[in-house]
Copies of this chain bind each other. A is one copy, B any other.
Amino acid sequence: MKAVHFLVASVFLALASSLASASDPSPLQDFCVAINDTKNGVFVNGRFCKDPKHATADDFFYSGLNIPQNTSNPVGSTVTPVNVAQIPGLNTLGVSLVRIDYAPYGQNAPHTHPRASEILFVQEGTLYVGFVTSNPDNKLFTKVLHKGDVFVFPIGLIHFQFNIGKTNAVAFAALSSQNPGVITIANAVFGSNPPINPDVLAKAFQLDQNVVKSLQAKFWWDNN
């Protein structure tokens, strides 16, 4: 039973922490390797840590980021996070990584990271990327990126990547938090659980209520 709870907790945490933020509080010791506290579900800002005497190199290690991921899904892309949920040694260190695989014409749909800025590097393929500034301008900055190009997405702004090439694309991105979080806009707006009152979304998105309800009835794929 306890094992199950532990497993659930681990999975939850693994899923809950998909990315990372420049404003992460600073470390107060060399490192603070995250553990899952299994004592009556008590949490802290960030993570509880193991006794530093018991830390090993494996606490700072992750393997397999070179492996292409399956992108046969509705959005045609897959995000592989490497943050505090995958590398416990990242706790308190304010940085993390992701690998993103894109099928031809696949995309990493418009999303934000509530707790991190991002710097993305294209390893393979051609990506049309962009971010939108806050009100009132909502100015779109876009660029077509080729192999070896790098682009920056400021913290909290809506951004996306779209594979405009006929071949698979691969990118790696760094984020300025151990756990930046990711909010896929369409999923959060139309796929929230439970659904948002359709009146709100119909007016906000200038859509017919029935369109909103049909959108809310759809399945929203989460690529990370």
Contact = CB atoms under 8 A, between A and B. Distances in A.
This protein's copies in its complex: 6
Interface of A: 9, 12, 15-18, 21-32, 35, 37, 39-58, 60-67, 74-76, 82, 87, 89-97, 105, 107, 109-110, 112-119, 121-123, 128, 130, 132-143, 145-158, 160, 162, 172, 174-179, 181-197, 199-201, 203-207, 211, 215, 218, 220, 222, 224
A193 B139 contact: yes
Given A61-B143, A94-B176, 7 more contacts: A21-B26, A24-B28, A30-B134, A110-B204, A132-B196, A142-B196, A158-B189
A134 B17 CA distance: 9
Nearest to A95: B176
A205 B114 CA distance: 20
A57 B145 CA distance: 11
Of the listed residues A21, A67, A113, the one surrounded by the most CB atoms of chain B closer than 10 A to its CB is A21
Contact of A196 (B40, B50, B110): B110
Contacts of A122: 66
A222 B204 CA distance: 11
B42 A156 contact: no
30 contacts: A9-B51, A22-B22, A26-B26, A26-B115, A26-B155, A30-B157, A41-B51, A42-B49, A43-B48, A44-B46, A57-B141, A61-B152, A62-B149, A65-B121, A65-B148, A67-B148, A97-B119, A97-B150, A107-B203, A112-B114, A114-B154, A135-B182, A135-B183, A138-B222, A156-B181, A160-B200, A162-B199, A174-B175, A207-B215, A211-B211
